[in-house]
Structures are given as C-alpha cells and as structure tokens.
Amino acid sequence: MDEWITTAGRLLAEPYPETMTQRADGFAEPGLHVAYLMVSRDFWDGDGREAMEPTLEEYEAVCDRLVAAPAERWGEPERIDLSEVLAGSLRGEEQPPLTGYLCGVAGGPAPLWRRDDRHVSVVVAWADKELPMIVTLAVGQN
C-alpha cells in the first residue's frame, strides 16, 4: 500500500505530457496520468466466469483497501456515478480526461478525491471480458 500511496504522490506532482506517453507502469496524456498497480492475466472465451470471478473479487478487495489508505490521509472520497457521466457523454457533454478514462474502463460508482487542482481515483479497470483486469490509480485535471 505504501508504494501505491507514493505513486499517487508522484503523479499528483508530475506535470502532464503534451502528447500520449507510454510508461512501464501505465501511461500519461494531456490532463491524465494512469498507473497500473496490478494486472491480471488475459482471459479467453473458454475461461468461463469461474476463472474470472476469483480474480475480480481479489482485485475489488485490493481496490477497497487502496481506497481506505488515502481516506486516512485525505478524508473520505466523494463517489461519482460513472453511468451518469457516461450518459452525459453520450448526450455530447464534454468530459475531463479522468472521468472520460474511468467511463471507458469501469462502471458504477468510483471514488474521487480532490487534491488541489487535480482529482485522484482508484478503480478496477476491465475494458473487455477477454482482456486483463487492472487495478488503476488515475490522476487527472479538475
């Protein structure tokens, strides 16, 4: 956990790049930093839910613990409903880079801390059932 909190501090202080940049632990783009904290294996059609569910449960538990760690320092996060944000996006409402990213990889409520002129969120990202699950730490402009 301490290493991940250190990563959050680094991303909060790091300037945003002017263009998309791949890093060993994730990527950055204008207005957004994303760190991959845990990455599962790929899943295949033949794997079935019984192979995916234990990984999802483990990653959600890690995410819950990771949300609790900053809450001790920064207070309880607000929760944003990504389905409402996605609906707004589909109506043509422009989204900041952070919520746009979160809507593309997660659903339901997501924790969000305001840190000066940035937001921080931690979610289990799973863009497609065949792709790996990823515990992500994302920092974006307000």
Query: pLDDT (tens digit, 9 = 90+) per residue, 7-43?
Result: 999 999 999 999 999 999 999 999 999 999 999 988 8
Q: Output the pLDDT for position 45.
A: 67
Percent of all residues in the chain with a pLDDT value above 90, rounded to a whole number = 51
pLDDT tops 90 at residue 131: no
Query: pLDDT (tens digit, 9 = 90+) per residue, 34-74?
Result: 999 999 988 876 666 777 888 889 999 999 888 888 777 88
Chain mean pLDDT for the chain: 89
Q: Whole-prediction pTM value?
A: 0.89
- H or E element in which residue 61 lies: helix 48-74
Locate the DSSP E strands across the chain: 21-23, 26-29, 32-39, 78-81, 109-115, 118-125, 134-141
CA distance 125 to 142: 21
Q: Residue 28's closest CA among 7, 57, 5, 51?
A: 7
CA distance 76 to 72: 8
Task: For residue 108, count CB atoms less than 10 angstroms from its CB and return exposed for 0-12, middle for 13-18, buried for 19 or more.
Answer: exposed
Percent of all residues in the chain with a pLDDT value above 70, rounded to a whole number = 96
Q: Output the pLDDT for position 122.
A: 94
Q: Output the pLDDT for position 112.
A: 94
pLDDT tops 90 at residue 135: yes
CA distance 103 to 126: 11
Question: What are the φ/ψ torsions at residue 22 (nearest 5 degrees)?
Answer: -85, 140
Q: Output the pLDDT for position 138.
A: 96
